[in-house]
Chains A and B, each alone.
Chain A
Amino acid sequence: MKSTQLAMALLGRELRERYLSTFAGLAWVLITPVMLLAIYAFVFVELLGARFGNRVGGDVIAFLALGMWPWHAFADSLARGTSALTGNAALIGQIAIPRVWLVLVPTLGAALIHTASFVLVLLILLIMGRLQMGAGAWVAMVAYGLIVVNAAALSLLLAPLNVFFRDVGTLLPQILTFWMLLTPIFFDRALLRADLGEWLALNPMTGLVEALRAGLLHDQVDLTTLYSPLLFTLVLTLCSVIAARRFLARIEDFL
């Protein structure tokens, strides 16, 4: 009970810290997605006249939004989690605080903010009539949940490795950019060469983003698309927990 209260207090502080000293405060959670949607609409639809297959106009925005928001949630959560231990080096050397929370709190804090923002985007798209809220929405929710779990698991693995070698934190933005380009966010895999599309299917984020899109755009309920991402998430989480138990005990020696 006391541990839960401490975790909640740390999470509350993490959320407050992100908007501390800003004029709009937590309102940024609402402002950011609206601004971004407007920017995407202007750049991709008006300026570039982008189209994915037979998708044009608002459908392009919906297609992009359903790829970009989950990706940003994943990438930002992972980046914050990975730097959590090096960023709190002084604190780790001063007080006894469960280190696993030091990693998970910023990860989940970022995920929470992006999720709130995503929910608002979904509402806007729903009002625009671009989404179908049927059983497929549940599949999309599971896919989104798995994306967040993957971010948390990878953070648990990378945060101590970043203490051992700071190169991990330096390399991560480049890796995330490359990973984003290998994920069908700005393109439709169905429109690619078949062999290239098969290779991209090996990326676990591909299955999750596509399942999420299929669920929300076409109300598609095909649980088999989630099998391999689910297996990947389970294996990754197991490995991360085992590694974190071993590594987190030693990180103070390297800070």
Chain B
Amino acid sequence: MSADVLLEVVGVGKRYPRVHRRMDRVRSVLDAILNRPYRAHAQILQDIDFTLKRGESLALIGENGAGKSTLLRMICGIAEPSAGSVRLRGTVAPLLELGAGFHPDYSGRDNIRMNALLLGMASSEIDAKVQQVIDFAELGDYIDEPVKHYSSGMKVRLGFAVVASARPDLLITDEVLAVGDESFQKKCIAWIEEYLRDGGTLLLVSHSMYHVQKLCKHALWLHHGRVEAYGDVFDVSQRYLAWHERKTAQRRAEERLTMATGDYAVSAVAINGEDRDTPVTLPIHALLDVDVSLHSADGRPPVLAVGIKRHDGTPVYGVSSELDGVAPIRVSDQSYRFSIRYPELSLLPGTYTVALHAMDPEAIRLFDTVERTIVVTGRSREVGLVRLPHQWHRA
């Protein structure tokens, strides 16, 4: 481990024993007593490798249950790795859970002392810094009240203030910044930025990509307990967000099929090839292609109605396959597809909604609606919604 490396995580894995059934518990305890791997277990983390040099900032991102908190707990020394090793060369201050380590019956002042001791501070150092902590936490007279009377935001403020006073080599935070009020969040972020400028090292867990990209230079994406991506914060966080959007769109489509009120539902939509539920940007007079897949429970070909409206809800134009006498393309027994093209979209610059409605074959009942946003860009001082073809005549 070279001198500038503060944290080295090598081949780390974590297994938790299954203990709900009596015999599984007996087996697991026996494994623990004999110091061997658990036979009945849940694998939470596997093959985690990364290093953190002094002065670096790393974000751990991933879905809930990906193993982020477990990894942090092993780095902090709360949990033992089942495989691999965690080597830390320096002091660490974790902010893992709201009010962690605070005794509810003791005052904020008493808890400052105990928390600071747990962070490895000496009594003399604590005495010198108590007032600084109280000032940072902005708790006023509440500092002498029992912590059980504190709000969640007050607990975070006190916890952060103690950690800030400790000036650790490695600061670890796990979503706790999401709890405090906005002004204290700003104060904490400003403190972390200063801490990083002064050579501090940060390990941050957050679902806020704003905080991740603002505070960290590197990111590690954990997926199902394994490293999915590790590198530059923008590359990794954008890959994660793209995956997340795909997953959300897929889930929504599945939910739509199961939640649609009747037999016909919109199962997929692509605007100019973009199948995610994100705004599609196109210049004025551009081509607009809308591809729609419809689900038909009874197998009969449904009708598609397409409407375009301004973002405030003002209708612009609507048409249906029944009006135009167009039949869908049959994809399978219960699946049909429509494609509609607007070759030269004459919408003026602005934000619009494309609404897709699934209707029965008789075009009487509307069963399902999906909406997508399009943003038309361009330079124009014209007024209204659409550019109407026109000619000026000089008498």
Residue of A nearest to B126 (CB): A5
Contact check: which of B17, B76, B94, B123 meets A254 at CB < 8 Å?
B17
B114 to A96, Cβ gap below 8 A? Answer: no
Q: Does A253 contact B (CB under 8 A)?
A: yes
A20→B73 CA distance, assembly (Å): 32
B100 to A95, Cβ gap below 8 A? Answer: yes
Q: How many whole Å from A109's CB to the nearest CB in chain B?
A: 15
B80 to A95, Cβ gap below 8 A? Answer: no
Interface residues on A, range: 20 to 34
A229-255 vs B: 1/0 string, CB under 8 Å? 000000000000000001101101110
CB neighbours of A94 from chain B (8 A)? 78, 96-97, 100-101
Q: Does B241 contact A (CB under 8 A)?
A: no
Contact check: which of A6, A93, A254 meets B28 at CB < 8 Å?
A254
Residue of A nearest to B97 (CB): A94
A95 to B114, Cβ gap below 8 A? Answer: no
CB neighbours of B97 from chain A (8 A)? 94
CB neighbours of B80 from chain A (8 A)? 249-250, 252
Residue of A nearest to B115 (CB): A95
B29 to A95, Cβ gap below 8 A? Answer: no
A96 to B32, Cβ gap below 8 A? Answer: no
Contact check: which of B19, B33, B78, B118 meets A92 at CB < 8 Å?
B78
Q: Does A9 contact B (CB under 8 A)?
A: yes
A249→B74 CA distance, assembly (Å): 12
Residue of A nearest to B17 (CB): A253
Q: Does A13 contact B (CB under 8 A)?
A: yes
How many cross-chain pairs have Cβ atoms below 8 Å apart between A and B?
Answer: 70
CB neighbours of B25 from chain A (8 A)? 164-165
A20→B76 CA distance, assembly (Å): 31
B22-59 vs A: 1/0 string, CB under 8 Å? 00010011001101001000000000000000000000
Q: Does A27 contact B (CB under 8 A)?
A: no
Give the B interface residue count (CB, 8 A).
Answer: 32
A2 to B121, Cβ gap below 8 A? Answer: yes
B75-111 vs A: 1/0 string, CB under 8 Å? 0111110000000000000101100110101100000
Q: Does B231 contact A (CB under 8 A)?
A: no
Q: Does B113 contact A (CB under 8 A)?
A: yes
Q: Does A1 contact B (CB under 8 A)?
A: yes
Q: Does A91 contact B (CB under 8 A)?
A: yes
CB neighbours of B94 from chain A (8 A)? 95-96
Residue of B nearest to A97 (CB): B118
A247→B32 CA distance, assembly (Å): 7
A2 to B120, Cβ gap below 8 A? Answer: yes
Residue of A nearest to B96 (CB): A94
A6 to B118, Cβ gap below 8 A? Answer: yes
Given contacts A1-B122, A9-B114, contact A164 B79 (CB under 8 A): no
Q: Which of A6, A165, A247 has the most CB of B within 10 A?
A: A6
Residue of A nearest to B15 (CB): A253
Residue of B nearest to A96 (CB): B77
Q: How many whole Å from A214's CB to the nearest CB in chain B?
A: 40
A6 to B117, Cβ gap below 8 A? Answer: yes
Q: How many whole Å from A159's CB to the nearest CB in chain B?
A: 14
Q: B residues touching A (Cβ–Cβ < 8 Å)?
A: 16-17, 19, 25, 28-29, 32-33, 35, 38, 73, 76-80, 94, 96-97, 100-101, 103, 105-106, 113-114, 117-118, 120-123
Jot down 5 A-B pairs with beta carbons below 8 A, ordered by A: A9-B113, A13-B103, A17-B105, A20-B105, A252-B78
